[in-house]
Amino acid sequence: MHYDGSPEKRKQLQTAMQELHTRFGIKDGEVYNALRKWLREEPEFSLKTYTRYRCEGGMKTYSYAYTIYDFLSRGDERYRMLSPHRGGARTSTDDERFLDAFLKRFGPLNRSFDQDVLEGFRFNYELFRRSWKIDDGKHFVRTLLKVEKENGVYKLSETVDFNLGGNKVTQTDSGIIFAYEPNFCALCNSSQGLKFFSFHDHYPHSHGQDAVDELKGNLVAVTGSREHPSFRIFARRIKSGHVAMNHYHVNEFRNDPSMKEVLKYILPKTEENDKNWYHD
């Protein structure tokens, strides 16, 4: 999260500047010169102003403080004292450092990095997606999707467990979910391959305040030497009981109206299957 001029952010900024000076022994002039190289131009403020901000706080000029805060969260590695994904807090675990570095490199510029909006996702979900084993547009799988918080970051895992043709299919992919607002994404892997989840729609549209009940998005799985298309996914929060993971044909749910919205989404209408029961 970028600098907003609040008392909390002013305090975080001054503390970070002081730590660079007292804890790591980096002189103000060195920080100022690194900031100038990062900006590729002269800062609007002088070295004297930087030192005054560090010693006295105050941060009277918003644009000056914004620039320094941005540098200490996204600038040169040696001077990174503030984590953009944690709203100014320092990173401490390997997972936090990975996410911090990832968002610094690939995060949207001048946009929120605040990951606390994911608080409303911390539940178990039943996830539905098209079958990759029988790719005829009429088969799908139901898996277990979990979102938890661990080591300072939000984790996502998907577990697959079913029998098909006498073969047992069991797999768990796990990784980190992060806010890339207005979307939410996750990078996961297992011994079988790499998965990329993107959720573009969720209900309710909370900002970490309310439990998210439904998620819609896409999934790309990278494994083996074949094409890796994107498949639609639909997830519903489990409020009681457990997830009945399995591999299904759509006809098994002919009389289940609760599945109609799910199947219409994950198995979109095509010329080949436009007469399937779940389409209007």
Give the residue extent of every domain in the chain.
7-87, 119-266
Q: What is the pLDDT of residue 83?
A: 77
Give CATH superfamily name and number for 119-266.
Quinohemoprotein amine dehydrogenase alpha subunit, domain 2 (2.40.128.120)
- Buried/exposed 258-267: b ≥16 CB within 10 Å, e otherwise: ebeebbeebb
Mean pLDDT of 1-20: 86
pLDDT at 164 over 90: no
Helix (H, G, I), strand (E, B) or coil at 272: coil
What is the average per-residue pLDDT within 16-23?
A: 92
User: What's the mean pLDDT in 107-113?
Assistant: 60
- The pLDDT of 49-54, averaged and rounded, is 94
pLDDT band at residue 108 under the 50/70/90 scheme = low
Instruction: Give the model's pLDDT for residue 111.
Output: 57
Name which of 15-29, 78-92, 230-244, 248-262 the model is least confident about: 78-92
Residue 85, Cβ neighbours under 10 Å: how many? 25
Question: pLDDT tens digits for 171-188?
Answer: 999 999 998 878 899 999
Characterize the bridge pairing of strands 246-249 and 230-237: unpaired
Q: Tell me which H or E stretch contains 177.
A: strand 167-180
Instruction: Determine the average pLDDT of the residues in 93-104.
Output: 84
Would you place residue 8 in the very low, low, confident or very high pLDDT band (cuts 50, 70, 90)?
Answer: confident
With CA atoms as reference, report the closest residue to 142 among 241, 242, 244. Answer: 244
The pLDDT, as a whole number, for residue 255 is 85
Q: What is the mean pLDDT of residues 26-37?
A: 95
Residue 177: predicted pLDDT: 95
255: part of which helix (H) or strand (E)? none
Please name the residue ranges forming H helices in the chain: 7-22, 28-39, 47-56, 62-74, 94-106, 260-266
Q: Which one has a higher pLDDT value, 149 or 97? A: 149
Which pTM value belongs to this model? 0.74
Q: Nearest-5° angle of CA 60, CA 61, CA 64? A: 125
What was the pLDDT predicted at 87? 62
Q: Is residue 12 packed enough to be buried (19+ CB in 10 Å), middle (13-18) or exposed (0-12)?
A: buried
- Contacts of residue 14, defined as CB under 8 A and 6 or more positions apart, other chains included, come to 53, 54, 57, 59
Which residues neighbour 276 within 8 Å (Cβ) at sequence distance 6 or greater? 137, 138, 250, 267
* pLDDT per residue as tens digits for the range 239-276: 988 899 999 999 999 889 999 999 999 997 654 455 55
Residue 218 pLDDT > 90: yes
Specify which residues 214 forms β-bridges with.
203, 236
Best mean pLDDT range from 72-81, 210-219, 249-258, 269-278? 210-219
